[in-house]
Amino acid sequence: MRLLYDKVYEQICKVDFESLWDGFHAYHFALYTNDTVYLKNKTVDYEDCFLGNTTIKYDDEQIAIWKIDDYTKEDPVILAANMVHEMFHAYQYELGEKRFPNDLKALDYPVSLENILLKYAENQLIIKAVKENDKKKVKEYLSDFIASRKRRKEIVKEHIDYEYCIETVEGMAEYIGLRALKQLDAEKYGNKINKYIENLSDTSAVLFDNRRLSYFSGALLLLALHKADIPFHHDISKESHTVYELVSENISCGALPIYTCKDAIDASLKYYLVNKQKLFSEFFDKKPVCTENSFTICGYDPMNIVKLDNHIWCKYFVMLKEKAKDVPLLINGPVVLKVDNSDITKVIAYYTI
């Protein structure tokens, strides 16, 4: 693990941070396992604050962290680019980023076939824009993309703001990570771009995962904007508008894209809804233990939560705060929360197996 850390550090030192985003710089980082945390100059026992792959405040310093399950399978170059992504989150936090999405509210994102068909079509426009080298054609694809976005906003209304926020916060960070990877290894950069294109072309599960999908679309959208010389750099400390809102003012509105893969997407939507119901029914078939009390959700893994009616399924963990206690309760998953209908952050009971 120490050797892996040193190799990742060596790669990060090769990155020209200032060229990625004006003012951006490297941050300290940690690699950790279930037992141990590896920092630049020391190794410490695992602490509960190390959860997921993200940025945290540690010893009064904003650092990037990444969990390692098997260090023998990690590619130091890819991991270095991933750490640059998390370092950009540290940079966003230090600048007081105001556009972080509300992942809990997004669990109520409306299901609409027309919206999903348009979303898929606009993602194909992003792919075409990324692949295209003619700037005029790139701008044409982006104009049609704008038309799709405007129509989708009419369909799902304010819920589309969640996508804008994810594309801004996560999309920007991944765009930065991708450009760092390009500096380190052009072939691995190309492979990752192809993987993201594959994800945006998928008509199955990922199409219904707004957070994960917007992560990919946001990164590739910024690459397309960069290719078309459409400026999107801004002062993160002062900006409240999302990247899409900023750039859409400078791109003409084109024509709505033509639906593709309609039958496959319709079938995937039905399959998704059935499996969502099945996820909860199978959980409750196991006769979980119910704990009733008043809690507030204070920590969760946004990539692995699902909501059905007033129940939220958490795959890996959730952190709940009791009013009378200072230390949050960490519950390992799978766990299902029963939430207040009027406030999704308020938990009235939780179920564990």
Three-state helix/strand/coil letters over 103-161: CCHHHHCCCCHHHHHHHHHHHHHHHHHHHCCCHHHHHHHHHHHHHHHHHHHHHHHHHHH
Kindly give the interhelix angle for 210-227 and 135-156, rounded to the nearest 10 degrees.
150
Whether residue 270 lies inside any domain: the answer is no
Report the DSSP beta bridge partners of residue 37: 32, 44
Same domain assignment for residues 12 and 136: no
Whether residue 179 lies inside any domain: the answer is yes
Q: State the total domains in the chain.
A: 3
Q: State which residues form the domain around 183.
A: 105-262
Whether residue 275 lies inside any domain: the answer is no
Per-residue pLDDT of 296-334, as tens digits, reads: 999 998 889 999 999 999 999 999 999 878 889 999 999
Same domain assignment for residues 258 and 139: yes
Per-residue pLDDT of 29-64, as tens digits, reads: 999 999 999 999 999 999 989 988 999 999 999 999
Q: Are strands 311-314 and 305-308 parallel, antiparallel or unpaired?
A: antiparallel
- Tell me which of 94, 125, 160 is where a domain ends: 94
pTM score: 0.90
Whether residue 84 lies inside any domain: the answer is yes
CB 167 within 8 A of CB 244: yes
Q: What are phi and psi of 313, to 5 degrees?
A: -95, 125
Same domain assignment for residues 125 and 255: yes
pLDDT at 324: 79
Per-residue pLDDT of 253-289, as tens digits, reads: 999 999 999 999 999 999 999 999 999 999 999 999 9
Whether residue 274 lies inside any domain: the answer is no
Whether residue 224 lies inside any domain: the answer is yes
Same domain assignment for residues 109 and 90: no
Per-residue pLDDT of 63-120, as tens digits, reads: 999 999 999 999 999 999 999 999 999 999 999 999 999 999 899 999 999 999 999 9
Same domain assignment for residues 116 and 241: yes
State how far the Cα of 159 lies from the Cα of 24, in Å rounded to an integer: 31
Whether residue 243 lies inside any domain: the answer is yes
Could you tell me how far CA 100 lies from the centroid of its own chain? 11
Whether residue 277 lies inside any domain: the answer is no
Same domain assignment for residues 181 and 231: yes
